[in-house]
Structure 1
């Protein structure tokens, strides 16, 4: 094998443990090669997939615990590949986040969501709102406030119907710039959602400094733990904290009836999860929730 080929494989092996500080040595093997080839194929197929509109939006309903009705939904992405069929976002999102292509994908999904909201408004179904995700990587590739401003003008959308969801990790980076951005977005009428609240180490400090409109807590608090009573206390305190600050709370990943009952008792505003519904295509969402 040529020195160049060996160096390429060594670099590929190094990439496989990048960011893992428990590993100092990486070995190139068949699995790494196959994973590399899969990633390269996803990257090579990306432009054609955008052009062919293979990326589809799915919506997961968010149900009010007060009314029992679906009042909003989170927009998620699925890739219906022309040759390989449905590809899970868990496969392609990390690849696109690594090389920056996720910004183009997010921009595409935001526009698709705006098209749906525009159509709902024209059809007299404008009571439903949608939330879209913003990747931390997006901040490096675009002026996010400018992008959303252009979208709501293009599609004549009420910004209150398009909620913007960021993970907690995005809030702890460059807080001064983040605060300025959020103030711009909120001044335009958007609601800001903090996803994965409580999963990091700076949640309360972040909440003190950065105004958000919605907290999303993951029901991972209850998974695989013997300290369920403590988990419930933490969730109850988060809900009460949100209420005291005038912030709505959404629990996501809800899969059991007992959790629904508990969340209702502690005053959680909305829930999202497989207990009520999995993410579904737009037409399925419309037929299920607009016909009620």
Structure 2
């Protein structure tokens, strides 16, 4: 493959362009799809030959003041004139792809497909390696594109770099915990017989000093993707234990708080060891702590549910099934594990005049009662549903009809100091 331009060469061309008219250009990251498989099937020499052929197909197609370089294996960088209009970019890539795909490689090898990432330069272009990264990141095959023949994405248009957000999240979440920006919030669970609040669910809020409240949807999915959700789980659990213990000492009252067990912790073999270590630092009555398992996590994992619930029960904690009815509810989980309560998903309380919703809710509550499970209706917002749930013997309601999530300090003031009750 001697004679092919390399990365240093294309970097020099890139810097020349940036000094003159960068906004007219784009850097394209191009990779021959399934190139490693080709090498295994036909051998390294054939692979080298293919790289040379693809290079030649591109070199003889691009115009004046446009450049191509072989970076490594089946990976190339192109520096070419590129319009701003997406439709024109699309047509350009179609023609480039056809040139590579239909180059006469011979009957033995057939057509060659490629993945491409396009990064348009601006009047104030990034350095070469940043531009190369931007092109690479939208060229990399997604689960949807891996089985397609050729594919391409345009940076900033059809592709947005979520990795930058993930990186920032990793850098910011721990300082936010240390500085007290990550806060424990509690949403009360109202006893439908008495109106008392002796239970709540632990929730998280991120209140940045400059940005204000950061939506949960902006950071929780990222923490789940990058593996930091377990750190957040333990952080909140520590604060739950601290407050339960403090309230018992100050007011002589036991508050039962449920905490969510993320999928990372649910599938982590030694999860209980992590929670036990936190608990031993701030011991409190174990019957005041309940772990909520999301229905979406436990579905079709009865053995793992039995294992997790069994470990928690043996330690002294209890478990409930959260979001029941949100998807394909697994009744086998209810009949084969030692759960103590069932939380009915908010999706079943959207339209109180819909008789179908009422039928489903009634049957779920009747089944739970016969199985000896306590029941919590989550996301209830209307008085009509409060009355209906009372008539069916539902135990608790957790919803805006009574209380929104609130800071720990407000919860303490209203329900421990003042003994506030909801009007049920």
Partner of 2:60: none
Q: Find 1:10's aligned residue among 139, 146, 159.
A: 139
Q: Any idea what the Cα deviations from partners look like across 1:121-153, whole Å, max 9, x if unmatched?
A: 211343211111111122345622223333333
The Cα shift of 1:90 comes to 1.4
Of 186, 200, 211, the match for 2:338: 211
Counterpart residue number, 1:75: 202
Q: 1:30 aligns with which of 147, 153, 156?
A: 156
Distance 1:43 1:28 in 2: 26
Q: Please point out which of 165, 169, 173 is paired with 1:46.
A: 173
1:74: Cα distance to partner? Answer: 0.4
- Contact between 2:266 and 2:308, CA under 8 Å: does it hold in 1? no
Q: Which secondary structure state, in structure 1, belongs to the residue aligned with residue 391 of structure 2? A: helix
CA distance in 1, matches of 2:375, 2:233: 24
Q: Any idea what the Cα deviations from partners look like across 1:145-179, whole Å, max 9, x if unmatched?
A: 22333333321211100111110122235432331
Q: What's the CA shift string for 1:81-137, capped at 9, x where partnerless? A: 233221121110001101111011111111111111111121134321111111112
Change (3 A) 1:63 1:224: closer
1:202 & 1:271 partners in 2: Cα distance?
Answer: 20
Unaligned 5+ residue runs, structure 2? Answer: 1-26, 30-131, 420-424
What SS class does the counterpart of residue 199 from structure 1 fall into?
coil
Task: Report the structure number with the largest CA radius of gyration.
Answer: 2
Q: Give the alignment's TM-score, normalised by structure 2.
A: 0.62
In the alignment, is residue 156 of structure 1 matched against residue 273 of structure 2? no
2:120 aligned residue: none
Deviations 1:159-204 (A, max 9, x none): 1001111101222354323312211211222120100112232421
| Paired residue secondary structure (1:104) | helix
Q: Which moved more, 1:31-40 or 1:270-279?
A: 31-40
What is the rounded CA distance, in whole Å, between the counterparts of 1:216 and 1:25 in structure 2? 44
Cα distance in 1 for residues equivalent to 2:366 and 2:303:
27
1:129 equivalent among 234, 256, 262: 256
Bigger relative CO (Cα 8 Å, ≥ 6 apart): 1
Task: Tell me if structure 1 keeps the 8 A contact 2:190–2:397.
Answer: yes
Indicate the residue corresponding to 2:378 in structure 1.
252
1:14/1:26 contact within 8 Å kept: no
TM-score of the superposed pair, with normalisation by structure 1: 0.89
Match in the other structure for 1:139: 266
CA deviations over 1:235-276 (Å, ceiling 9, x no partner): 011111111111000001011111111111111000001111
Distance in 2 (alpha carbons) for counterparts of 1:181 and 1:215:
16
RMSD, aligned α-carbons: 2.5
Question: In 1, Cα distance between the equivalents of 2:262 and 2:302?
Answer: 16
| Structure 1 residues 89 and 63, CA gap change in structure 2 (3 angstroms) | same
Q: How far 1:34 sits from its partner (Å)?
A: 6.5
Equivalent residues of 1:214, 1:249 under 8 A apart: yes
Q: Aligned pair in 2 of structure 1 residues 26, 91: CA closer, same or farther (>3 Å)? A: farther
Q: Report matched runs for 1:1-292 at 5 Å.
A: 1=27, 3=29, 4-5=132-133, 6-11=135-140, 14=142, 27-30=153-156, 32-33=159-160, 35-141=162-268, 143-172=270-299, 174-223=301-350, 228-290=354-416, 291-292=418-419
Query: What SS does the corresponding residue of 1:236 show, helix, strand or coil?
Result: helix
Question: Aligned partners of 2:286 and 2:179: how far apart in 1?
Answer: 28
Structure 1's unaligned 5+ residue stretches are none
Secondary structure of the residue that 1:152 maps to in structure 2?
Answer: helix
Secondary structure of 1:33 counterpart = coil
For the 8 Å contact 1:65–1:268, the answer to whether it is kept is yes
Is the 8 Å Cα contact of residues 187 and 201 (structure 2) preserved in structure 1? yes
User: For the residues of structure 2 that align with 1:78 and 1:157, how far apart are their CA atoms?
Assistant: 24
3-state DSSP of counterpart to 1:196: strand
Deviates more, 1:58-67 or 1:37-46: 37-46
Match of 2:81 in 1: none
Instruction: Name the structure with the higher helix share.
Output: 1
Quote the offset at 1:36 in angstroms: 4.8
